[in-house]
Amino acid sequence: MPLGQIRVAPDDFPPETHACLRCGASAPMRFAGPCAACTAELRATMRGEGRAVDTEYVPKMNVTVNAVALKDD
């Protein structure tokens, strides 16, 4: 397993009754957050389509070049 990566088995966190952080209804969840109904509603209303963005980085004119990068060896 790579350094910094943690794997957790879902069985280690059985669902407990939590209050939904959005609507306040009690629902069985593994972690505190929105309930299943709120999650479905948010996905239906807030989901956007992914798109490719073609951009090229152009530094601002006031950016100076690093002196080490200009050094000739």
Q: What is the 3-state secondary structure (H, E, C) of the chain?
A: CCCCCCCCCHHHCCCEEEECCCCCCEEEECCCCCCHHHHHHHHHHHCCCCCCCCCCCCCCCCCCCCHHHHCCC
pLDDT, residue 18, reads 93
Whether the pTM exceeds 0.85: the reply is no
Q: Give residue-wise pLDDT tens across range 16-67.
A: 999 999 999 999 999 999 999 999 999 999 988 888 888 887 777 776 667 6
